[in-house]
Amino acid sequence: MSGMIDPTIMDILKKAVEQANLGHKIEARAYFYDILTLDPNNEYALLWQAYLSDDPYKAIGFLERLLKLQPGHKSARAYLNQAKQRCDELEKRQKSSIYVNSFNPVNNSSSKSGLAVPYLGDYLVQQGLITPNQLEMALRLHRDLKERGHPKPIGRVLIELGYINNDQLNRWLQQQNDDLENFYLRN
């Protein structure tokens, strides 16, 4: 990276790297996000965001942005190749996934499970707010956290991965509540 770094960005960068080194990925990503808000082309933040991302598709986006700025960046090129390999692996798994092969949204008031109201993930995919790949990634992390004794609701996982925000989750929860009330009133 050329030139001097703005002192405000440098302070945030120090906090971000400290959080990353402590293993606090979510906090670190939030600091790096703040840096990219102030400087969308900050090469350090782009590389770190790619490195810390749980989603190889997002990592590719950060790395491609960095490589547009610095085409000869060897670390970014190596990470990009790794992220692309990871995406290929995910796509191969997805093709054989029971969830993806059985996903066939009928409408917003029913799901593949036959429930009166679709699961959050089904709903978000139906609405185009997330992709099936993102849902698969979130469900995998959700299961992994549960297996390690740190369960989190899928909505929280989706927010922490950056796929949805609190407002979108709250809108879904309200929609789910309204749909359930309507279902029970009809039956």
Residue 92 is encoded by which pair of tokens?
């191969």
Q: What DSSP string runs through the chain?
A: --SPPPHHHHHHHHHHHHHHHTT-HHHHHHHHHHHHHH-TT-HHHHHHHHHH-S-HHHHHHHHHHHHHH-TT-HHHHHHHHHHHHHHHHHHHHHHT-HHHHH----BTTB-TT--SS--HHHHHHHTTSS-HHHHHHHHHHHHHHHHTT----HHHHHHHTTSS-HHHHHHHHHHHHHHHHHHHHH-
What pLDDT, on the 0 to 100 scale, is given for residue 160? Answer: 87
What pLDDT, on the 0 to 100 scale, is given for residue 103? Answer: 41
pLDDT in tens, 127-179: 788 888 889 888 988 888 888 888 888 888 898 888 898 888 888 888 877 77
pTM greater than the 0.85 cutoff: no
Alpha carbon distance 144, 104 (integer Å): 26
Q: How many CA atoms does the CB half-sphere of 32 hold within 13 Å?
A: 25
Q: In the chain, what are the domain boundaries? A: 7-95, 105-186
Residue 123 is encoded by which pair of tokens?
């709903």
Alpha carbon distance 6, 89 (integer Å): 39
| Confidence category of residue 107, pLDDT binned at 50, 70, 90 | very low
| Confidence category of residue 115, pLDDT binned at 50, 70, 90 | low
Identify the CATH homologous superfamily for domain 7-95: Tetratricopeptide repeat domain (1.25.40.10)
Please give the average per-residue pLDDT across 32-36, as a whole number.
91
Lowest mean pLDDT segment, chosen from 33-42, 86-95, 107-116, 123-132: 107-116
